[in-house]
Amino acid sequence: MKITIVGAGYVGLVSSACFAELGNHVVCVERDGARVAQLHEGIVPIHEPGLPELIARNLAAGRLAFTTDLAQGVRHAQLLFIAVGTPMAQDGSADLSQVLEVARAVGRHLSRFLVVANKSTVPVGTAQQVHSAIAHELAARRLARVPAFAVASNPEFLKEGAAVEDFMRPDRVVIGVPPGSAGTRAESLLRRAYAPFNRNHERMVVMDVKSAELTKYAANTLLATKISFMNDMAALADALGADIEQVRRGIGSDRRIGYDFIYAGLGYGGSCFPKDVAAICHTARAAGERLRVVEAVQAVNAGQPARFAERVLRHFGGSLEGRTIALWGLTFKPGTDDVREAPSRAIVRALVAAGAQVQAHDPLVHSLDQLMPDEPAAQRVRLEPHVRFCADPLAAARGADALVIATEWKIYRSPDLPALRRALRAPVVFDGRNLFDPQDMARAGFIYQGVGRGQER
């Protein structure tokens, strides 16, 4: 099939490479010319296992091309996916300007039947707006024969760090198609595109467009809810002297609950959960509803880093003046270089505000510019003298009054505990991801605090 994907960001690149790998001819349109040039040289701007190899192989096979020319992309495609950014606007709503810009360009260049499927996470009702924007541009061209088109929704559920795998082995493929004959054609084209995943087991879930748009938010919001619920329980476990990790195992064994996404810690970060949870709350208010549970999910999550930093401060009697704190892990989760909404950022700010010098280590983040690219330069300048980046975890621990763990990278999971003890000035560990057993750590001579391990008091 001839497929065009607009946007060479995270979702766009993974989808482009994977659809090409399945044997389709894929054009990936990206407005950033420098990025397109890099991609042609095989330089992949995001960290995603398996992606560089897929891109290189399919470029070489001639099944994948990158361009800045959207008109070319529209002419090429039977099926065009929109995978551009939908950043969060000031008020928590999703900023749709890039999506609608693509829609208008489609309308300007469309010459035969096309299915436009939206992969960007967009509020319910966006497909309708995309449809209107295309129709408006088409009408302005005053064509003798106006080409038909359909706007479908095809939300993605890719996890960073496992996106290629998730794309190639989806739990389900959700598509939302409009009513009528154009919708029927859209459904059959999308079914064809995803046919390789349905050989042994039907994974297509076909529904109306609005339901598909809402499905994406409902999935992410429910996962975020599990996390905040566990963090709420962790606070109670601390107050009562119970251990959230034991509780986790106890409830996860119930298949209705499951073991996934019930880890207490510093809360969720990343480019999806915080943005999507805010956006669905905004959508609900705009529709005259309030998602009371989800608003609480948001509030619990927002408070998690501060709550944890508070615990560090309490240990040192309320001030970190003259203290050095080691910090392991800066990305929002392991296996990615993504620092968007990473809890570590709030932790760094809180530690420095309390007077600490921070010695940080992360396998992929090595500077404040990398950690806080989107924050005002003044903020970084203020933090600069107080944050030092170290080449390895033990170097970060050297001479520190305590160690704080913010991301559960594999290399932090089995440290040389005697060496860690020797490196630290005092054997104090605040573990924001519950990597260790408190008793093991006590035996190894550490003062150890996790999240919800019954140690608040």
For residue 158, state whether it binds ligand UDX (rule: CB under 6 A). Answer: yes
Instruction: Tell me which of 6, 117, 262, 339 binds ligand UDX, using CB under 6 A.
Output: 262
Identify the residue whose tokens are 């621990």: 397
119 marked among binding-site residues: no
Nearest-CB residue for ligand UDX: 272
Q: How far is CA 93 from the centre of its chain?
A: 17
- Mark the segment that binds ligand UDX (CB under 6 A) among 30-38, 174-182, 270-278, 351-359: 270-278
Give the HSE-up count for residue 423: Cα atoms under 13 Å, Cβ half-sphere: 20
225 marked among binding-site residues: no
Radius of gyration of the chain (CA): 24
CA distance 454 to 207: 46
Q: Where does 316-434 have alpha helices with state H?
A: 343-353, 368-371, 377-383, 393-397, 417-423
80 marked among binding-site residues: no
Rounded least distance, CB 305 to ligand UDX, Å: 11
Rounded least distance, CB 273 to ligand UDX, Å: 5
- Mark the segment that binds ligand UDX (CB under 6 A) among 14-22, 264-272, 391-399, 417-425: 264-272
For residue 157, state whether it binds ligand UDX (rule: CB under 6 A). Answer: yes
CA distance to 29, 100, 142, 300, per residue, from 135 (Å):
21, 12, 11, 43
35 marked among binding-site residues: yes
Instruction: Tell me which of 275, 333, 349, 453 binds ligand UDX, using CB under 6 A.
Output: 333
Q: If DSSP codes are grouped into helix, strand and coil, which group holds residue 2?
A: strand
Rounded least distance, CB 333 to ligand UDX, Å: 4
Rounded least distance, CB 230 to ligand UDX, Å: 7
Q: Helices 10-21 & 51-60, crossing angle to 10 degrees?
A: 50
Catalytic residue among 18, 28, 272, 281: 272
CA distance to 77, 108, 144, per residue, from 140 (Å):
22, 9, 12
For residue 308, state whether it binds ligand UDX (rule: CB under 6 A). Answer: no
136 within 8 A of 107, measured Cβ to Cβ: yes
Q: DSSP assignment of 404-442, as one string? A: EE-S--GGGTS--HHHHHHHSSS-EEEETT--S-HHHHH
Nearer to ligand UDX, 138 or 280 (CB): 280
Catalytic residue list contains 272: yes
Residue 429's DSSP bridge partners are: 403, 448
271 within 8 A of 202, measured Cβ to Cβ: no
For residue 332, state whether it binds ligand UDX (rule: CB under 6 A). Answer: yes
263 marked among binding-site residues: yes
331 within 8 A of 263, measured Cβ to Cβ: no
226 within 8 A of 261, measured Cβ to Cβ: yes
For residue 265, state whether it binds ligand UDX (rule: CB under 6 A). Answer: yes
Instruction: Tell me which of 176, 269, 274, 363 binds ligand UDX, using CB under 6 A.
Output: 269
Rounded least distance, CB 135 to ligand UDX, Å: 29
Nearer to ligand UDX, 72 or 370 (CB): 370
Specify binding-site residues for substrate. Answer: 157-160, 216, 261-265, 269, 333
Which residues sit in the known binding site?
A: 35, 86, 121, 157-160, 216, 261-265, 269, 275, 333, 340
Interface with ligand UDX (CB under 6 A)? 156-160, 220, 223, 227, 261-263, 265, 267-270, 272-273, 332-333
**Catalytically annotated residues:** 272
